[in-house]
Amino acid sequence: MTTRIVVLGAGYAGLPAARRLINRLGDAADVTVVSASPSFVERPRLHQTATGQRLRELPLAGLVGGPRGGSLIVGRIGDIDLAGRRVRVQARDGERTLGYDVLVYALGSTVDVRAVPGVAAHAHTLSGAGSAERLSGALATASPGSTVAVCGGGLCGIEMAAELAESRPDLRVLLASRTEPGAWQAPRARRYLRRAFDRLGVEVLAGAEVREVAEDALVLAGDRRVPYDLCVWAGGFTVPSLARDAGLAVDDQGRIVVDETLRSVSHPEVYAIGDAAAVPGPWGAALAYGCRTGSFTAPCAADAIADRLAGRTPRSFRFRYFHECVSLGRRDAFIQFLHADQTPSRWVLTGRLAVWYKNIVLDSAKVVFRHPGPYTPRRRPAARPAEPAPLAS
């Protein structure tokens, strides 16, 4: 009898976790992946979609399936019944209920549109392919000279502002940020970013705390109003309430609290990876949001599941990130290399070489989707989990 494993989400964490589980467990497990989209969404490239660039589609059916593959269900999660070990899914062919022995929760994060009044009603975001395409449509009808306000001085805001200014030089691009954009970077990287913005014509409004997004203006502290024709919100991230609503132990941000093997501290049959998980370590109570960190959790969780099924003690999660890759349009970028404690080093790669470097990093992720390991022989896992017997579907 095989072990039923359901993976919720097929992003930078969920997809490689599913593929690795399929490789590790073979016919000892039945792996089902649930995704809201039939294609993989390259979140680090959504600013390209927003500016009208067409990216190559990556159908999930070809990545999940195959001779030794799993099953893909395209649909949205209704709710999770932890006691009954069931997930309700609204699929294209109607509602379905999936029973599981092991659940991998990888639903990721989205742009927080509730933290500031007016964002949900008046601003565009880069939360997913659909929102990026809607922004693309709005930009296509924007008249020359229109002001596009990008709110947020983090990686998403920086890349969106630069991409927009390069692709639409007829627009006025304004980047509003509480601090200097890229303030956490090394001095050399910050200087390079400022020069790039000057060259592209991006106007930076630093020290701007947006209190409200009105229909036609940003309302800053002190009731100062900054008019705009189109607003793009690139503020902080949040996670769906699904985990909290189901009864999983979560932190104050709603991220699932896990142990050192990415296993839920409240429900041992559930593993959480990517942005959905509050992963503890030397970095603090949780990893930072982002594909750059989330994808590292996938192999650890998959290996922990396979090891426990085989009666072995799994290894603890270890994390070391080496760089931040920042696009500045299609022809420019910079790579900020990091120390072991995640602080920026003085080493910064810039220009066309940095563009090549970032493209290699993003494209290599897709290679990992098809070949997620393991890369060394492992003993075959047991056919049944070392967990309580599954409940009937």
Residues 129 and 226 in one domain: yes
Residues 105 and 138 in one domain: no
- CA–CA distance, 51 with 48 (Å, rounded to integer): 5
Residue at a domain's end among 181, 206, 233: 233
At residue 281, the pLDDT reads 84
Contact predicate 335/324, CB 8 Å: yes
**Structural domains counted in the chain:** 2
d(CA 112, CA 52): 24
Lowest mean pLDDT among 68-82, 236-250, 297-311: 68-82
Q: Is residue 347 part of a domain?
A: no
- Do 200 and 188 lie in a common domain? yes
Picking from 319, 351, 367, the residue at the C-terminal end of a domain is 319
Mean pLDDT of 67-74: 82
Residue 212 and residue 153 share a domain: yes
Query: Does 387 have pLDDT greater than 60?
Result: no
Q: What is the pTM of this model?
A: 0.90
Q: How many CA atoms lie less than 13 Å away from 326 in the CB half-sphere?
A: 28
> Are residues 99 and 18 both part of a single domain?
yes
Nearest partner of 70 among 15, 30, 36, 106, judged by Cα: 30
271 and 219 share a domain? no
pLDDT average, residue stretch 217-222? 94
Question: How, if at all, do strands 210-213 and 94-99 pair?
Answer: unpaired
In terms of domains, do 183 and 147 share one? yes
Range list of H helices, the chain: 14-25, 46-50, 60-64, 119-122, 129-140, 155-167, 187-200, 242-246, 291-294, 297-309, 351-370
* pLDDT tens-digit map of 165-211: 999 999 999 999 999 999 999 999 999 999 999 999 999 999 999 99
How do strand 94-99 and strand 86-91 relate by DSSP bridges? antiparallel
Q: What six digits make up the tokens of 389?
A: 């017997």
Q: What is the pLDDT of residues 122-170, one digit of tens each?
A: 999 998 899 999 999 999 999 999 999 999 999 999 999 999 999 999 9
What is the residue type of 246? Answer: A
- For 161, the token pair is 């502002």
Q: Which pLDDT belongs to residue 235?
A: 86
Residue pair 124/231 in contact by the 8 Å Cβ criterion: yes
End-to-end CA distance of the chain: 15
Range of the domain at 199: 111-233
Asked whether residue 390 is assigned to any structural domain, the reply reads no
Instruction: Judge if 136 and 227 occupy the same domain.
Output: yes
Is residue 392 over pLDDT 80? no
Asked, for residue 144, whether it belongs to a domain, the answer is yes
Domain assignment of residue 327, yes or no = no
Per-residue pLDDT tens for 87-109? 999 998 889 999 999 999 999 99
Q: Which of 288, 319, 350 is the last residue of a domain?
A: 319
CATH of the domain at 184: 3.50.50.60
Q: How far is CA 235 from CA 83, 192, 203, 209, 380, in A?
A: 36, 23, 18, 11, 45
